[in-house]
Structure 1
Amino acid sequence: MGTGRRGLIAAAVTVVCAVTVLAAPGTAFADPGPAPPPGATAPGTKDLEAVRAELDRLYRAAALATDQYNAAEERARRQSAELAALARKITEGQEKLARLKERAGAAARAQYRSGGLPDEAKLVLSDDPGEFLDGTGRVIQGQRATKGLITETDRAQQDLKTYAGDASAQWEKLEENRRAKAAAQKKVEKQIAAAEKVESELEKEERERLERLEREAAQRAQTAWLDSGILEEVDGEATGDGRKAVEFATAQVGKPYAWGAEGPAAYDCSGLTSRAWASAGLAIPRTSQQQWKRLRHVEAEDMRPGDLIIYFEDASHVGMYVGDGRVVHAPRPGRTVTITGAGSMPILGVVRPDPA
């Protein structure tokens, strides 16, 4: 921000997810060894399942904090724009007030040059009463113009006072949202750091087996979702804008997840969906929670490609339905944008950005 703009804003103002950090487990996981007999539990499986659940909890908490960060960022961006608009209004108001004062000064100087005599004296001294009456008419017009000038000046001063008060309030809100953004950032970083610490203490074989457990859990959830017969009812076709959004989102497959990112190099979950719809010419809310709150809800059996599927009870994750029971989404830190089963995570509901 330039010094002029900072000075303008300063002048305008003068005028008037809970964070939990867990200690990483200190127990080393045993090598799985030979396959267990039927019905037995492989050594270390229970421990890795606990790790998987803990990682899921930590990354979900990070996702919730990311939503809070994104919401604060969006509000701060909007308030910065409003503050800039108010600054322009204040500048224009100051210039208008200066012009009005100049006009008032000119009128005062003209009255002084005319002598400023009372009307009775002018009538007595006048040789031509008709000329005096004409002059009196012009004086009345001048008085009315002066009264209008005073009224307009008062209004301009009041507008300046209002703009300055609004600017002060917007500045306070902007600072409040900057603080909220910083607090959310700390939450995200702490949750991700805790998750990364848990993962860093796993051996290579354990990490590979953990990934298999994640895929198996997702596949079980997807199978259960498909077994419900949902796809027998889902047959909606994408609109033209929906196809554009899907094409954009699927073209990002393979790019890394980064919290708070809106592309083009990386995305978080709602950054991907909001940018995909922006590419189709439609602005939608930035966060998954606001997408759930503000977009039109549709029944799952009525969904079509381009619709957004909101996940988990806290609406902390979102993916875009691409058809055939699949979604494209940005999963979490350490993962890339991918296409997976739409039912592989707990579904809260479906929303439709497209008004068509």
Structure 2
Amino acid sequence: MGTGKRGLLAVAVTVVCAVTVLAAPGTAFAAPSPTPAPTTAPTLTPPPSHSADLEAVREKLDTLYHDAAVATDAYNAAEEQARKQSAELVELAQKIVEGREELDALKDRAGAAARSQYRGGGLPDEAHLLLSDDPDDFLDGAGRVLQGQRAADGLIGEMTRTQQDLEQYSADASAQWQKLEANRKAKAAAQKKVEKQIAAAEKLESQLEKEEKERLAQLQEQAAQQAQTAWLGTGVLDGVEDEATAQGLEAVRYATAQVGKPYVWGAEGPDSFDCSGLTSQAWVNAGRTIPRTSQEQWRQLERVAVTDLRPGDLIIYFDDASHVGLYVGNGSIVHAPRPGRTVTVAGAGSMPILGVVRPDV
């Protein structure tokens, strides 16, 4: 291997060792915790124009957090790919090391053959054979020459194959390095977008007075309840039996045990979660590995009808599959909503449903 390839290997191994998972806060949404209805509603209800302003704020916040959720999924996807590529790069580096050792051993064998020829007076076996006067020696020598030629051909062929393997491993390592670098940039871009959207949402919320924040929370809760009521009103769950598999129940137990832990984008536990971090870890705990992101969960897992829901199924939300919750039965999900919220139980129909996927088909 040339110095360039050795340099590539050294850099690749160094980069692999340096790859770390970026920790940062993350995204998605959900229904906030219910706010007790005021006992003297008329005096606490803001004027219609004020309500309209807060409704616009609610919609703006939903948009900002939704965009942050999309960026979080992009970040998580790049993170997952980077992990795989790092592992593949480590494997290729090991193959290169082993290939170098094998090639060195083959070169030692070739050197030993050359030294043996030197000890024979510098003449090849064929020359010794032609100079022999003994017929028996001639026949024995002919066999040895044939064996030696075969061994030499085999040695040359093995060295050639090993050298070709090394060149291929080096090329693969270079390609993996480029992919790793591309995903590093994708992660950085996604992280920047997540932070920008969350900062904008937090700034918007910080401009509200205390009473406005309380009213905003009421509006958010009302919107979630109205969506849930409308969804249940379609009769979609009529006849649905909440019978789960053993694995599904285990996933439900894990997810519900995380209630109260904070949402942090990019987090997979154990102290905090984003939406797909919660669902993926719930199923890992149940003994089944599933994709890391909500979009890949939607793309890769088996889809089932909403009318066939059972606990442990994953409900995917929004047209871009940017949010996910784990169905726990009785029309409810457990999910990690968005920044500033904690893992909570909410109505399964409180957000626009894209579809349902089942990890344990």
TM-score under structure 2 length normalisation: 0.87
Aligned to 2:42: 35
Cα RMSD of the aligned pairs, angstroms, is: 2.2
| CA-CA distance at 1:143 after TM superposition | 1.0
Report the CA distance shift for 1:116/1:184 in structure 2 as closer, same or farther (over 3 A).
same
Aligned to 1:294: 300
Paired residue secondary structure (1:44): helix
Report the CA distance shift for 1:326/1:138 in structure 2 as closer, same or farther (over 3 A).
same
Paired residue secondary structure (2:237): helix
Report the CA distance shift for 1:212/1:6 in structure 2 as closer, same or farther (over 3 A).
farther
Pairing 1:1-356 to 2, within 5 Å after superposition: 8-10=9-11, 35=42, 42-117=48-123, 122=128, 125-355=131-361
Unaligned runs of 5+ in 2: 1-5, 15-39
Q: Distance in 2 between matches of 1:170 and 1:341?
A: 43
| CA-CA distance at 1:122 after TM superposition | 3.8
Q: Distance in 2 between matches of 1:284 and 1:235?
A: 24
| CA-CA distance at 1:7 after TM superposition | 7.3
Instruction: Give the residue type in structure 1 aligned to 2:113.
Output: A
Identical aligned residues as a percent? 68
Q: Distance in 2 between matches of 1:44 and 1:119?
A: 103
Paired residue secondary structure (1:231): coil
Instruction: Give the residue type in structure 1 aligned to 2:60.
Output: E
Is contact 1:12–1:164 with CA below 8 Å preserved after alignment? no
1:301-346 CA-to-partner distances (Å, cap 9, x unmatched) read 1111000000011110000000000000000001000001000000
| CA-CA distance at 1:237 after TM superposition | 1.2
Aligned to 2:28: none
| CA-CA distance at 1:34 after TM superposition | 7.9
| CA-CA distance at 1:162 after TM superposition | 0.2
| CA-CA distance at 1:232 after TM superposition | 1.0
Q: Distance in 1 between matches of 2:115 and 2:261?
A: 72
Is contact 1:257–1:332 with CA below 8 Å preserved after alignment? yes
Instruction: Give the residue type in structure 2 aligned to 1:290.
Output: E
1:32-81 CA-to-partner distances (Å, cap 9, x unmatched) read x9828x9x963511111000000000000000000000001111111011
Report the CA distance shift for 1:42/1:338 in structure 2 as closer, same or farther (over 3 A).
same
Unaligned runs of 5+ in 1: 14-32
1:199-240 CA-to-partner distances (Å, cap 9, x unmatched) read 001111111111111111000000001111122132141111
| CA-CA distance at 1:99 after TM superposition | 0.2
| CA-CA distance at 1:9 after TM superposition | 3.5
Is contact 1:236–1:302 with CA below 8 Å preserved after alignment? no
Aligned to 2:25: none
Q: Distance in 2 between matches of 1:123 and 1:104?
A: 21
Identify the structure with bigger relative contact order (alpha carbons < 8 Å, sequence gap 6+): 2
Is contact 1:296–1:351 with CA below 8 Å preserved after alignment? yes
TM-score under structure 1 length normalisation: 0.88
Q: Distance in 2 between matches of 1:91 and 1:52?
A: 58
| CA-CA distance at 1:10 after TM superposition | 2.9
